[in-house]
Amino acid sequence: FELYPNPSQDYVYLDNSLDAELLQVYSIDGRLIKDYTLVSGVNKLLIDHLPSGSLLISLKGDFGVVTQRMVKL
């Protein structure tokens, strides 16, 4: 999957090429912060309410779980 722009302040785009059903945002220490339900294709996600710093983005679907780091400004 592709997440851009990264880093970002207000929103990010997620190219959901894996057809994931759920995106979860975690703090670096593993606390769940936010869930997003995804659709196929490109999703625009509002992130202005998330805490600043490094976050972990996990996509979940039939393929399993894929995680990537994101920086929130």
**CB atoms near residue 14 (< 10 Å):** 22
Q: Is 18 left (phi over 0), alpha (psi -120 to 50) or beta?
A: alpha
Q: How far apart are CA 73 and CA 65, in angstroms?
A: 25
| Band of residue 19 on the pLDDT scale cut at 50, 70, 90 | very high
- Going by pLDDT thresholds of 50, 70 and 90, the confidence category of residue 72 is very high
Write the CA distances from 46 to 9, 14, 34, 35, 66, integer angstroms: 9, 11, 11, 12, 20
Instruction: Please enumerate in sequence order all residues whose Cβ is within 8 A of that of 31, keeping only pairs 6 or more positions apart, or say none.
Output: none
Q: For residue range 27-49, list pLDDT tens digits in order.
A: 999 999 999 999 999 999 999 99
Residue 52: predicted pLDDT: 97
- pTM of model > 0.85: yes
Instruction: Provide the pLDDT for residue 8.
Output: 97
